[in-house]
Amino acid sequence: MTVADTILQEKVSVALGGASYEVAPPSIATLILCSEDIALLPFKEQWNRENIVLETLREAKYCRPLGRIIATLILGAQVVQTKPCRWLWWKNGERKRNRLARRILETSTPQEVNAALAKILQTLQVGDFFGLTISLIEINITKPTKEMVKQKKTKATASGQQ
């Protein structure tokens, strides 16, 4: 992936389980959906490095969201959040994501998943998203609270006093 591809927001091609997928740069909604699934991954403060194989096998049962994360990045939020009509139940976006996630988990090697995820993560405009969220959080922190507004209304200062 080149800088020009990133600037032009070209689709990236990733190979998983013998299939090739075109992945567009993600929208904010796609990042939010991925974040929800990332929160489901297991968190372990300390891994036993001497028995890393056993640790990995023990924790692997909790890693089903990996398929959903990659499927979400491939399909995008617009497809995933599609709500079907009653008579078009097969056009359900959530159903498409679950089928693709299952296919990825069943047919892809860990090496393929790692390489595909790394390639997709290069297209994420995480820096821009991070900057936007941090600046909005800062604005939220600095806005006056209800208590501060009440105190300002009740504390009238005499002319010339501070």
pLDDT per residue over 137-146, tens digit each?
Answer: 777 776 666 6
Q: 23 CB contacts (<8 Å, ≥6 apart)? A: 11, 12, 13, 14, 73, 74, 120, 123
Q: Shortest CA distance to 72 belongs to which of 47, 100, 48?
A: 100
Establish if 160 belongs to a structural domain: no
Establish if 67 belongs to a structural domain: yes
Give the range of the structural domain holding residue 144, as residue numbers without chain letter: 3-154
- How many residues are given for the chain? 162
Supply the Cα-derived Rg of the chain in whole angstroms: 23
Establish if 33 belongs to a structural domain: yes
Establish if 9 belongs to a structural domain: yes
Q: What total number of domains does the chain contain? A: 1
Q: What is the DSSP letter of 108?
A: -
Establish if 69 belongs to a structural domain: yes
- Per-residue pLDDT reduced to its tens digit, 17-36: 899 999 888 888 888 888 88
Structure pTM? 0.68
Alpha helices in the chain (DSSP H): 3-8, 28-38, 52-59, 65-75, 77-80, 93-107, 110-121, 126-142, 146-154
Establish if 159 belongs to a structural domain: no
Establish if 161 belongs to a structural domain: no
Establish if 32 belongs to a structural domain: yes
Mean pLDDT of the chain: 78
